[in-house]
Amino acid sequence: MNIRGVILLTFHNNIHGDLKSLLDFALELARTAENRILPRYQGCDVMIKPDGSEVTVADREAETAMRDLICQRYPSHKILGEEYGSSSSEEADFLWVLDPIDGTASFTLGVPLFGTLVALLRRGNPVLGVIHMPVLRETTYAATGLGCWFRTADFEPVRLRVVKKETLGEAVVSAGGIHASDLQPETDRPRYRLSTYIQTARKFRFIADCAQHALVCRGRLQAALDPVMYPWDNAAIVPCIREAGGKATTVNGDEDNVVFGGSLLISCGEPLHTELVQVLQPRI
């Protein structure tokens, strides 16, 4: 190997080594959040935020614990979280994006399909993500170039790959709800054609929050839809589905700005993804 090849290999190994350390830290953050969340599961008072969404002490305590750990370990890194906002912008060199409880409505009902989402953006690009389900004791996680993995408390990690289907008529798909769709029109949002998505698919299920996206990474579903999303909802999912061999865009098909694009559509890849984007667009 010539000197240029040695330099490139060393650079490649250094990048992956750094990402592996950061991914291990992200998994530690998820465990830290779990330690604040589980003691309050099925026994937490609910408060309503100004935007009408639910929040609990568990949400806030878990995010605070994660923020404190980031500040201790990586003081130069910035943070964006659902409960306490941003310490910078998406243009920061390193930006941690946190959702302590993705699915607070499920959490407050005692339904175990909520998760903790941890992501890291490097200069605006999502490079690692963790989807951790505390009650189920399941974790889907990935970093760029390192693959997407699934582990439980009782088994060793296994590498994940999506299961390919060519058309919506062959696919098993899901959505997180009917908001921003033709089934529940809202004056200030697009009316995505959820009815067509449901009727055309081989099989459809409503599945809450991050759970549906983890199932696409695991090959159980071929697509998952959330018409209204925020960066803390999206950021961890994007590296996971991409490293599993799938695709993530906004519902309009924007791949480059998916984290901050306001919606999320993930799938097992092309040509299915193009069909999904076309099927879901509102009729003019």
Mean of the pLDDT values across residues 210-227?
98
CA angle 129, 135, 138 (to 5 degrees): 40
> pLDDT tier at 159 (50, 70, 90 boundaries)?
very high
80 by Cβ neighbours in 10 Å (0-12 / 13-18 / 19+) ranks as buried
pLDDT digits (tens, 9 = 90+) for 160-210: 999 999 999 999 999 999 999 999 988 888 899 999 999 999 999 999 899
From its phi and psi, is residue 226 left (phi > 0), alpha (psi between -120 and 50) or beta? beta
* Amino acid at position 69, single letter: L
Looking up tokens 């040695």, which residue turns up? 6
Average pLDDT, the chain: 91
Q: What is the pLDDT of residue 10?
A: 40
Contact 201/174 with Cβ under 8 angstroms?
A: no
Give the tens place of pLDDT for each residue, 47-87.
Answer: 887 777 788 899 999 999 999 999 999 999 999 998 887 75
- Its pTM stands at 0.91
Q: Say how far apart CA 218 and CA 186 lie, in whole Å.
A: 33
Tell me what the mean pLDDT of segment 254-282 comes to. 97
